[in-house]
Amino acid sequence: MLRPDGCLLLLLLLPLLLLLAPGPAEGEAAAERLSPYFGTKSRYEELHPELLRDPLSLGPPQPGFPLPPASCAPLQLGAVFRHGTRFPTRKQIQKLGRLHGLVQGNAGKCNASAASRLARWTMWLRPDMDGKLAPRGRRDMEMLARRLARRFPSLLARNRRFAFVSSSKHRCLDSAAAFREGLRQALDGQQQGTSQKHATTTEGIETNDKLMRFFDLCERFVKDIEDNDTAMHELDAFKEGPEMKEVVGEIANTLCLPVNDLNADLVQVAFFTCSFELAIKNISSPWCSLFSEEDAKVLEYLNDLKQYWKRAYGYPINSRSSCILMQDIFKHLDQAVTESKSSKPISSPVILQFGHAETLQPLLALMGYFKDEEPLKANNYHRQMHRKFRSGRIVPYAANLLFVLYHCDQATTPKEEYKIQVLLNEKLLQFPHTGETVALYTDLKNHYNEALQNCHFSKVCDMPKNTTQGDLYVKGTK
């Protein structure tokens, strides 16, 4: 029982304790409240909250998936993955170090609780982490492999051949290795209670940047978009626009910093640090307390503008450069159909390709997914509040695009014998041209005929002679 003088001391300290205690926007729920708006830095669990409780959950049944096993059997699985959760890049870590230095240098002049907590925050990110796969990213891929083995037990099974292809980046190679380990665990689980030995998945991982990093090898994209200072004019305009300036002003005020010491890039790094600490450490970072939900929506749009103009519908070259990957996917599908018709074993029943958000986003654009009627621009933020193009819902960490080819032996015509479904992040997609979740394989090939037959990587990506970069930007990509 407290003595009277103890009660008096508690009453005197209570206002100070309330001041230092995290508020509703600064406590454990802050990161969770902001997490739907982290864009390409989003956890995979944002799309599948059930995975937070059970990382092997398959979620609720999906009407129409898979096709009825009595009539249609999976023949081939082609999968394109984004790597798992990664550390920030060296540039992001350097920017964060600069921002943290500003906060620490101003700590004595600012009584705000958020600034005090950030000044005491330990800078644990090191430049040598530079985009590497985080331990959480390995777990992302292991659990994904085990779930896919449960979704496709006849394909991801013992004695099947698995083809692994990866970008040369370590985060992708490590993701492929982690997926392979998860697959081994799943195959062992299939044989529990038997005398069979442990499963082995010793297939090598082929490095193929031509497929997984086609954007680096597309000269026209590199010169017209990547290295062109004017290509991101909508993004640059939004950084200086009223919505972003308001966010920068609010953060400067919270940190007691001159508004000229901050800019959109530094504020975005603070926002991403909130996302990284949630994704990598599963904690609500003190950086999260700087942002309201409205701030987060503005910063999500900033990230989406970059993805839209650099990787998706902003310029035709963005998606056209991915036709080499689409052609590879359909080449394997064609081969499986040909072998099936000849009653031969399917030589490549499972193709697993590991790349980047920048691998998946152009391919999805080429296929016509998530296209808004109005382009994303600096001046239409409010009109785009309900846009289809939200990168965090399309290419979070561990994003996956699955092509499932079926053989239907009860088909009434040869054309109906082979059907296909496409899943994004383990959820059925409707085909853009029909609105259906299943298509006849021949019909889908016909729909994408132009990209499959007439899109030649060298013609699309080689720079024409005697043409300047500026001319190409105006004439060739807009």
Q: What is the pLDDT of residues 224-262, one digit of tens each?
A: 999 999 999 999 999 999 999 999 999 999 999 999 999
Question: Which domain covers residue 461, as residue numbers?
Answer: 30-193+233-477
pLDDT of residue 392: 98
Q: What is the C-alpha separation between 184 and 176, in angstroms, rounded?
A: 12
pLDDT, tens digit (0-9, with 9 covering 90-100), for 50-71: 999 999 999 999 999 999 998 9
Nearest residue to 359 via CA among 227, 205, 223, 168: 168
Q: For the chain, how many structural domains are there in total?
A: 1
Query: What is residue 345's DSSP assignment?
Result: P
pLDDT value of position 159: 86
Burial class (CB in 10 A: 0-12, 13-18, 19+), 465: exposed
Q: pLDDT value at position 476?
A: 42
* Helices and strands in the chain: count of H runs, count of E runs: 22, 8
User: Strands 162-166 and 350-355: what pairing?
Assistant: parallel
Question: Is 55 inside a domain boundary?
Answer: yes
pTM listed for this prediction: 0.90
DSSP states of 423-436 as a string?
Answer: EETTEE---TTT--
Q: Supply the pLDDT for residue 21.
A: 40
Task: Give Cβ neighbours of residue 258 (< 8 Å, ≥ 6 apart).
Answer: 252
pLDDT in tens, the chain (478 residues): 445 555 444 444 444 433 344 443 344 578 889 999 999 999 999 999 999 999 999 999 999 999 999 899 999 999 999 999 999 999 999 999 999 999 999 887 887 788 899 999 999 999 999 999 999 999 999 999 999 999 999 999 988 899 999 999 999 999 999 999 999 999 987 665 554 554 555 579 999 999 999 999 999 999 999 999 999 999 999 999 999 999 999 999 999 999 999 999 999 999 999 999 999 999 999 999 999 999 999 999 999 999 999 999 999 999 999 999 999 999 999 999 999 999 999 999 999 999 999 999 999 999 999 999 999 999 999 999 999 999 999 999 999 999 999 999 988 898 999 999 999 999 999 999 999 999 999 999 999 999 999 999 999 999 987 655 544 443 444 4
pLDDT, position 1 = 47
- The answer to whether residue 330 sits within a structural domain is yes
**380 in any annotated domain:** yes
What the block records as the tokens of 438 is 């299943």
* Domain assignment of residue 225, yes or no: no
CA diameter of the chain = 92
Q: Is 189 a member of any domain?
A: yes
Q: Identify whether 214 is part of a domain.
A: no
Q: Is residue 361 part of a domain?
A: yes
Tell whether 402 is covered by a domain.
Answer: yes
- Rounded Cα distance between 12 and 39, Å, is 44
Residue 283, both tokens: 């904690």
Q: How do 418-424 and 439-440 pair as beta strands?
A: antiparallel
Compute the distance between CA of residue 255 and CA of residue 261 in angstroms, rounded to an integer: 11
Q: Work out the burial of residue 106: count CB atoms within 10 Å of its CB; fewer than 13 is exposed, 13-18 middle, 19 or more buried.
A: middle
Long-range contacts of 329-337 (CB under 8 A, 24+ apart): 329/78, 329/80, 329/403, 330/445, 330/448, 330/452, 332/76, 332/78, 333/76, 333/78, 333/403, 333/405, 333/420, 333/441, 336/75, 336/76, 336/405, 337/75, 337/405, 337/418, 337/441
**Omega before 66 within 30 of 0, i.e. cis:** yes
68 φ/ψ sector (left φ>0, alpha ψ -120 to 50, else beta): beta
One DSSP character per residue, 212-262 reads HTHHHH-HHHIIIIIT-TTTTHHHHHHHTSHHHHHHHHHHHHHTT--GGG-
Give me the CATH number covering residue 469: 3.40.50.1240
- 8 Å CB contact between 374 and 231: no
Task: Give the residue numbers marked as catalytic.
Answer: 83
